[in-house]
Amino acid sequence: MSASADQTVGDEAARRLVADLVEIPSPTGDERECAERLVAFFEEHGREAWLDEVGNVRAPGDDSVLLTSHIDTVPGDVPVRVEDGELWGRGSVDAKGPLAAMAAAAVETGVSFVGVVGEETDSRGARHLVEDRAEPDAVVNGEPSGSDGVTLGYRGFLAGGYAASTDSVHTSRPDSNAVQEAMAWWSRVESALADSTAAGAEGDGDDAETPVFERVTAKPVEFSGGTAPDGLSVEASVEVQFRIPPGETADGIRETVETELESGSVAWKEPIPPVMETPRSEVARAFRAAIRRVGGDPRLLRKTGTSDMNLYAGAWDCPMATYGPGDSELDHAPNEHLDLGEFDRAVAVLKRVSETLQE
């Protein structure tokens, strides 16, 4: 059956959906069972839905707005329970709360919905989506912002891997080995990027500190090294990640990093650009009005991380924002839990936003 807006999803049914989704484990790469529960929810409410070739849940409808969030979670066993009006469990905040709220709002208003896979790793679901479907009139991406918060900006993301190898020599020799060269390279990279940030902040006053959102953040996430199995060389590798603020580019960061190479090489992965949406767009205005209608005080947010909205903004020239219930401080945490009253308010906000954008 095609999309329609004559279906009602009450608070109880929406809460049951989010509890079911949290109950079903869906770490990246193992999203299918959870995705099938979403498909069944749409079919139960008279909406056509299916899994596409990469595993995304597709429920096409009115493209005045596309509601989309991710199905996958990071690993981790957080026992699922409802306690004092809170739903505990892995993914309750990131991002099955936003996902279920969007599904409920999409059924009630008839707008388009997609649940994507792979957001926590390579964003393969979002990458496939922008190649496979036409641009909607607007996008609301689902991530925790709190029921009163609307996220308009994210930093971009660049990952790479450094590798170096040196001949094996006796450790009494003063010659640097690959492990030392990797450590020295990373120290130079951190210093160069810190100097770059400081230079960009000149003129703001001696005591001014550049906000994290406006800085390049450099992080080594894995370091390994030692004598090779054949005993003839010492090898070292470092997996690194950089967060890219608006105004910076992946090419600029790559150039800075590679300038600091005295040995070894860096292999880069495909970058994700930063995004900063205007607070004056019709999507942002619709959220401010909807949040006030349910008694909230709207907050406009900039996140220091990265989301699928970055990819949508890079591919589609339409207004967008990110929204969803939940405290983002609980993302990936061992005490991840969602306030169900906040979840109810988020469903109401998403319904009002969708209705406004349909006008």
Question: Which residues does the annotation mark as catalytic?
Answer: 72, 119
Compute the Cα dihedral for 124, 30, 3, 283 and give only its sign. Answer: negative
Q: Rg of the chain's alpha carbons, rounded to an integer?
A: 23
Residue found by looking up tokens 């949406």 in the block: 277
Peptide bond preceding 95 in cis form (omega within 30 of 0): yes
3 state SS of 162: strand
Q: Which pair of tokens denotes residue 15?
A: 């809460």
Helix (H) or strand (E) holding 175: none
Q: Give CA–CA dist 221/258, Å, rounded.
A: 18
Let me know: does 325 contact 146? Beta carbons within 8 Å.
yes
**Starting from the edge strand earliest in sequence, which strands make up the sheet with 233-244, in order?**
217-227, 233-244, 156-167, 265-268
Helix (H) or strand (E) holding 107: helix 97-109
Residue 39 to residues 132, 155, 276, Cα–Cα distance (Å):
19, 32, 32
- Helices 282-293 and 340-358: crossing angle, nearest 10°? 130
Q: What's at 269, amino acid-wise?
A: K
DSSP 232-274: SEEEEEEEEEEEE-TT--HHHHHHHHHHT-SSSEEEEPPPB--
- Burial (CB count <10 Å: 0-12, 13-18, 19+), residue 251: exposed
Q: Which pair of tokens denotes residue 262?
A: 């005295």
